[in-house]
Amino acid sequence: MNKSLLQTNPRGLCDEPKIMKKLEFNFKKNREQDNSPHLDRLSLEFDYDRCKNEYWNPENFSLFYKSPLWNEASPTQRIKLNQLYWVAYYSQIISAEIATIFFNQTSAAGLYGIEDFRIVCETLDLESMQERAHIAAFKRIAESFELAEFGERFFTYPMRGPYVETMIFQNSGKVRRFWKEMQLKAFTLLSSGNAFIGSQYFTVRGVRTLNGKIIQHQLSQYYMQHSKKDLAPIPSVVSYHHFLDESFHFNTSMIVGKEATKVLRNPTRFEKTVVNRMLEGCQRDHYNFSTAINGIFWSDPALFGTTYRLLRSPIFSMKHGDALNMLHRLFAEESEAMHLSQLTHKTAVDSYREYLAPLSFLSRKNREVQIMAENSMEKHLATNRRALRFFRA
Ligand SMILES: [Fe+2]
Ligand SMILES: [Fe+2]
C-alpha cells in the first residue's frame, strides 16, 4: 500500500508477503480444484433406488453404532442406520453452511475496510458459492431418503435463514433460542464494521470446521477405499468431494484467523470480550456428545422424539411399549456407543485446545476449552435420565 498517503490502518496485507503468498496459493488451488461441478452432477445423478441396499459410510459411522439398537439390528436395518447417519450428519452440515455463507459475507465486509484484503474477500466469495453447491447436494440426497423411507421429515427441514439455531438438535428452550438469535444479529453488525472481530469469526469457523474435518476425512475414506470407484454409492462420493473443498476452507480459517491479524492493530478490551463470548458460545454448542450420532454434538434429549419415531417407523416396526423400553436402554444406560461418542468429544477438546492455545487475546476458559471439558459420562447419563422421566411420546 502507498505509505505516503494517509491510511486507516498502519499496515496492509501486502506488508506481510508470506501471508499474502499463502492466501494466493490457497485461493488458486481451491479455484483449480473446485468440486462444485462434481457435486452438482452427482446430485442430479443420485437415484435412491440404485444405492438403497448398501452402506454409504464406513460401518462405524452408523446411527447408534454399538448401541443395543445396533447390536440387535438385522443386516438390512444396519444398512438403514448407516444411511441415516449420512442423512443426519449432512442435515447438520447444511445448517452450519447456511450460517457460514452469511458470516463469510459480513466478516468479509469488516475486513475489506483494511488495505489489500481483496484476496480474502474473493476467496470467501468462492467458498460461499461452493457451500451452496454442497447444500444442494446434501439436501437432495437427504430429502430423497426421507421421502422414500418415511414419507415425512426426520432430520431434514425446510430451507431456512442464518439466524436459526445452528445445532438442529439442541435443547435450548424458547428464551435461550431468542437470546442466541439476538446475539447472532448483534454479531453481524459488529463483524461487518470491525476488521478484528471479522477476522476472529474465522477462529470460530476454524474451531467448528476442525471437528468437521476429523469426521469428514473418515467419511471420505469409504469412497477412497472402494474397490470399484465408479460403482460407489453416490452419497459416499459426495462425502469425498465435499471433504476436498472443506480442506481449503479450513486453511482459509487458519490463515485469516491466526496470521492475517498481524497487520491489524491490537484488539481493544471490547473486541476481546466479543471474541471470547463468541468462543464460549461455540463451546456451549459443542458441550454435549450424542449417543445417536458420533461426531456431532447434539443433545440426546432433543433426539428422543425423532428416535421414538424411527423405532416406530417401518424400519424397526416397534410397538409403543417396546420403543419406550429401547429409548431407555439407548439413552439411560451406559453403552459402547456412548463411550465412542465421548471419545470423539475428547478428541475435539484436545484439537480445539491445540488450535486456540497460541491466541493470546483469548481467556483461559477458551484457550483451555474448559466449558466443553466439563462434560462427563456421569453428567451425560444424569441429564438423559432426568429428561426421559418427562418424555411423552
Ligand atoms: Fe461445505
Ligand atoms: Fe466450508
Q: Give me ligand 2 centre to Cα 245, in Å.
A: 7
pTM: 0.96
163 with 186: CB under 8 angstroms?
Answer: no
Give residue 217 CA to ligand 2 midpoint distance, Å: 13
Tell me what pLDDT residue 91 has. Answer: 98
CA 162 / ligand 2 centre spacing (Å): 15
pLDDT number for residue 3: 66
Write down the pLDDT at residue 284.
Answer: 94
Predicted local confidence at residue 1, as pLDDT: 60
Buried b (16+ CB within 10 A) or exposed e, 102-127: bbbbbbbbbbeebbbbebbeebbebb
Pick the ligand that lies closest to the CA of residue 134.
1
Closest CA to 106 of 208, 189, 13, 202: 189
Ligand nearest to the CA of 94: 1
Q: Map residue 150 onto helix, strand or coil.
A: coil
CA of 234 to the centre of ligand 1 (A): 17
Residues 319-364 have pLDDT tens digits of 999 999 999 999 999 999 999 999 999 999 999 999 999 999 999 9
Cβ atoms of residues 14 and 1 within 8 Å? yes
Question: How far is CA 363 from its chain centroid?
Answer: 24
Q: How is the chain split into domains, by residue range?
A: 13-390
Query: Relative to the alpha carbon of 242, which ligand is closest?
Result: 1
Cell numbers 414419507 label which residue? 151
Instruction: Report residue 367: phi and psi, to 5°.
Output: -60, -35
Q: What pLDDT is attached to residue 227?
A: 95
**Rounded CA separation 87/89 (Å):** 6
Q: What is the C-alpha separation between 63 and 77, in angstroms, rounded? A: 11
- Given a cut of 50, the residues of the chain with pLDDT beneath it are none
Which numeric CATH code is attached to 13-390? 1.10.620.20
Are 65 and 159 a contacting pair, CB within 8 Å? no
Alpha carbon of 316 to ligand 2 centroid (Å): 35
In contact, 105 and 7? CB cutoff 8 Å: no
Q: How many whole angstroms from 242 Cα to the centroid of ligand 1?
A: 6
The rounded Å distance from CA 339 to ligand 1 centre is: 28
Whole-number Å distance, alpha carbon 249 to ligand 2 midpoint, is 5
Calculate how far, in angstroms, residue 131's C-alpha sits from the geometric centre of ligand 1.
5
Write the CA distances from 220 to 79, 233, 351, integer angstroms.
Answer: 18, 12, 20
Q: Residue 87 C-alpha to ligand 1 middle, in angstroms?
A: 15
93 CA → ligand 1 middle, Å: 7
Q: What is the largest CA-CA distance in the chain?
A: 78
